[in-house]
């Protein structure tokens, strides 16, 4: 979907559908003139209560040649006092999904109501772009639907903002595609290909032999049960001469639990255990396409966690690249093993900060459902900045504590640490485990286990992979690169 901006009267703009955002309880509101041209068709659906302008409510009316657009699509914004930026984004998503489902290709957005609310039509359109997504690659019959173009009818100069949302939405779609792809196709080697598809970045891949030489024993232990070769992927995008920021994404292409095998029910969803890595790739893709003035090192310690004749066993002890030893009490707490080596490896780049993003714990989704990313870290000011980015993007983060008492949870009798403190407190004790590797480097951990996958459609996120983290981290980088 391509976005255009044109300054032209709504009634004069030929298109398949003109989108009219409507406020609840305000009648035809901004659109009296159009309604007059339509002989009161809009008023009629409002008076008859067929359309009440409730938030995300839609109503499609054929114009039968009375104005240039073939149809008008009324989209409810709800009550004026309740409107927020994200509600506007949602309305944009809802309107676009409705048009998509009807195979409508060419739409326009009237900006009158939005401007009267002192909001930006760009947020509405961001929702439309994010909603305009499907994953039909594996369906023989179904062809991918999609809106071809949407024109914002406005006299403002929105060029920069529009390019920005186009790039961020397409990066989110890129991440969703990687996550939705089943693990037989989305292997560690496939992640390498995805990384190499990015432009203006350099990609280095550390294979099993090199990782052994480097001493990445924790990371490698996760891949031992699988025939898929592990790939430790390092991507750099540098467009400013400053210390890099390290973005580490958990990249377990399938998590069976290993010898500590997961129950089979619902296991198919564990293809989304590389959503953190997908988010990092999405962020770097958009950053490079937008020429963002940043220096990013992206790290994806990719591996597949399977049981097998040479798989790690509970009780095994492994050594990380930095020398710390870890007792593996559960082979299902594999993410933190890969992240331990990745964090220590990242420190070699002398980063100003490390952010890891990971589908790390079931406890995260038990706590927040699909609603929030759990955030923990060793640097309050960085976390405050992340909260700002969260407010900007509505990719919600919620800070959780890292009490020193959690240190006891991960004490091992025979090694420096153990990889699991059991289920009680596992959201925070898993983060505490990572903190031991971050050391003094400012570090933030984002647990996206609850938010990376949804089972029901949302106004601008179809069910399946959400692409969470892409917009959040881009907003964080933008605000902190100026």
The set of catalytic residues is 262, 336
- Shorter beta-carbon distance to ligand BES: residue 113 or 420: 420
> Which of 217, 335, 459, 469 is close enough to bind Zn ion by CB under 5 A?
335
- Shorter beta-carbon distance to Zn ion: residue 252 or 292: 252
> Which of 123, 228, 327, 332 is close enough to bind Mn ion by CB under 5 A?
332
**333 is an interface residue for ligand BES by CB under 6 A:** yes
- Shorter beta-carbon distance to Mn ion: residue 10 or 304: 304
DSSP letter at 229? P
Q: Name the segment binding ligand BES (CB under 6 A); options: 53-61, 122-130, 237-245, 326-334.
A: 326-334
Tally Cβ neighbours within 10 Å of residue 413: 6
- Shorter beta-carbon distance to ligand BES: residue 181 or 288: 181
* Cα gap 156→163, rounded to integer Å: 14
> Which of 60, 362, 458, 481 is close enough to bind ligand BES by CB under 6 A?
362
One DSSP character per residue, 122-155 reads: HHHHHHHHHHS----TT-SSPPPP---EEEEE-S
Q: Helix, strand or coil for residue 221?
A: helix
* Cα gap 417→400, rounded to integer Å: 22
User: Is the distance from CB of 352 to CB of 442 less than 8 angstroms?
Assistant: yes
Paired with 59 in beta bridges are 74
- Minimum CB separation from ligand BES for residue 277, in Å? 13
Backbone Cα Rg of the chain: 24
* Count, residues near ligand BES per rule CB under 6 A: 16
User: Is the distance from CB of 332 to CB of 415 less than 8 angstroms?
Assistant: no
Task: Give the CB-nearest residue to ligand BES.
Answer: 362
Q: Name the segment binding Zn ion (CB under 5 A); options: 128-136, 193-201, 250-258, 442-450.
A: 250-258
Tally Cβ neighbours within 10 Å of residue 230: 26
Q: Name the segment binding Zn ion (CB under 5 A); options: 128-136, 176-184, 268-276, 404-412.
A: 268-276
- Minimum CB separation from ligand BES for residue 175, in Å? 16
Q: Helix, strand, coil % (nearest 5) of the chain? A: 40, 20, 40
**273 is an interface residue for ligand BES by CB under 6 A:** yes
* Cα gap 185→191, rounded to integer Å: 10
- Minimum CB separation from ligand BES for residue 382, in Å? 24
Paired with 21 in beta bridges are 75
> Which of 255, 304, 316, 327 is close enough to bind Mn ion by CB under 5 A?
255
Q: Name the segment binding ligand BES (CB under 6 A); options: 162-170, 186-194, 292-300, 329-337.
A: 329-337
**361 is an interface residue for ligand BES by CB under 6 A:** yes
User: Is the distance from CB of 421 to CB of 329 less than 8 angstroms?
Assistant: no
* Cα gap 60→99, rounded to integer Å: 9
> Which of 16, 35, 255, 304 is close enough to bind Zn ion by CB under 5 A?
255
* Count, residues near Zn ion per rule CB under 5 A: 4
* Cα gap 228→187, rounded to integer Å: 7
* Cα gap 425→204, rounded to integer Å: 36
Contacts to Zn ion from residues 355-384, by CB under 5 A: none
State the binding string over 334-353 for ligand BES (x if CB under 6 A, else -): xx------------------
- Shorter beta-carbon distance to Mn ion: residue 35 or 334: 334
- Shorter beta-carbon distance to ligand BES: residue 271 or 324: 271
Q: How many residues does the chain have?
A: 482
> Which of 97, 113, 420, 475 is close enough to bind ligand BES by CB under 6 A?
420
**230 is an interface residue for Zn ion by CB under 5 A:** no
- Minimum CB separation from Mn ion for residue 343, in Å? 18
293 binds, among Zn ion, Mn ion, ligand BES, none (CB under 5 to 8 A by kind): none
- Minimum CB separation from Mn ion for residue 17, in Å? 46
Paired with 445 in beta bridges are 356, 376
* Cα gap 295→242, rounded to integer Å: 7
Task: Give the CB-nearest residue to Zn ion.
Answer: 255
- Minimum CB separation from Mn ion for residue 439, in Å? 25
Q: Where are the alpha helices (DSSP H) in 185-308?
A: 188-196, 208-214, 217-223, 275-289
Query: Residues 6 or more apart from 25 whose CB is under 8 A from it?
Result: 53, 79
Q: Helix, strand or coil for residue 22?
A: strand
* Cα gap 390→387, rounded to integer Å: 5
Query: Residues 6 or more apart from 97 whose CB is under 8 A from it?
Result: 131, 132, 457, 459, 462
> Which of 57, 123, 228, 273 is close enough to bind Zn ion by CB under 5 A?
273
The site for ligand BES (CB under 6 A) is made up of: 255, 273, 330, 332-335, 359-363, 365, 420, 426, 449
The site for Mn ion (CB under 5 A) is made up of: 255, 332, 334
């Amino acid at each position: 979907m391509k976005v255009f901006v044109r300054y032209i009267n709504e009634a004069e703009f030929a298109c398949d559908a003109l989108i009219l955002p409507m406020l609840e309880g305000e009648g035809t509101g901004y659109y009296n003139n159009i309604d007059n041209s339509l002989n009161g068709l809009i008023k009629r659906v409002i008076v008859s209560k067929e359309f009440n302008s409730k938030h995300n409510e839609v109503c499609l009316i054929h114009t039968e040649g009375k104005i240039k657009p073939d149809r008008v699509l009324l989209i409810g914004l709800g009550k004026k006092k309740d409107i927020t930026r994200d509600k506007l984004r949602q309305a944009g998503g809802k309107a676009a999904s409705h048009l998509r489902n009807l195979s409508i290709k060419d739409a326009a957005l009237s900006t009158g109501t939005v401007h009267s609310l002192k909001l930006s039509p760009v947020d509405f359109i961001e929702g439309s772009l994010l909603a305009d997504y499907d994953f039909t690659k594996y369906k023989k019959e179904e062809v991918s639907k999609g809106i071809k173009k949407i024109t914002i009818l406005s006299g403002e100069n929105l060029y920069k903002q529009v390019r920005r949302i186009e790039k961020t939405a397409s990066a989110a779609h890129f991440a969703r595609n990687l996550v939705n792809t089943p693990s037989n196709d989305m292997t560690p080697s496939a992640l390498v290909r995805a990384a190499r598809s990015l432009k203006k970045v350099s990609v280095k891949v550390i294979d099993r032999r090199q990782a052994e030489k480097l001493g990445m024993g924790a990371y490698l232990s996760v891949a031992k049960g699988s025939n898929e070769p592990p790939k430790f992927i390092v991507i750099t995008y540098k467009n400013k001469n400053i210390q890099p920021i390290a973005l580490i994404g958990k990249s377990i292409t399938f998590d069976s639990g290993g010898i500590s095998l997961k129950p089979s029910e619902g296991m198919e969803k564990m293809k989304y255990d590389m959503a953190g890595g997908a988010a990092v790739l999405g962020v770097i893709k958009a950053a490079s396409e937008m020429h963002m003035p940043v220096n990013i090192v992206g790290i994806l310690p990719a591996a597949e966690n399977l049981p097998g004749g040479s798989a790690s066993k509970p009780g095994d002890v492994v050594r990380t690249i930095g020398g710390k030893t870890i007792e593996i009490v559960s082979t299902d707490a594999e993410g933190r093993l890969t992240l331990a080596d990745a964090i220590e490896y990242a420190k070699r780049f002398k980063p100003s900060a490390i952010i890891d993003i990971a589908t790390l714990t079931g406890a995260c989704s038990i706590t927040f459902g699909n609603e929030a990313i759990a955030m923990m870290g060793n640097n309050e000011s960085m976390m405050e900045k992340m909260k700002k980015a969260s407010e900007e993007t509505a990719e919600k983060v919620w800070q959780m504590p890292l009490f020193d008492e959690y240190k006891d949870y991960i004490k091992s009798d025979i090694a420096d640490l153990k990889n699991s403190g059991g289920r009680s407190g596992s959201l925070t004790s898993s983060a505490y485990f990572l903190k031991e590797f971050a050391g003094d480097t400012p570090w933030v951990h984002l647990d996206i286990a609850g938010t990376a996958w949804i089972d029901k459609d949302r106004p601008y996120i179809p069910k399946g992979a959400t692409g969470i983290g892409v917009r959040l981290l881009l907003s964080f980088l933008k605000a902190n690169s100026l």
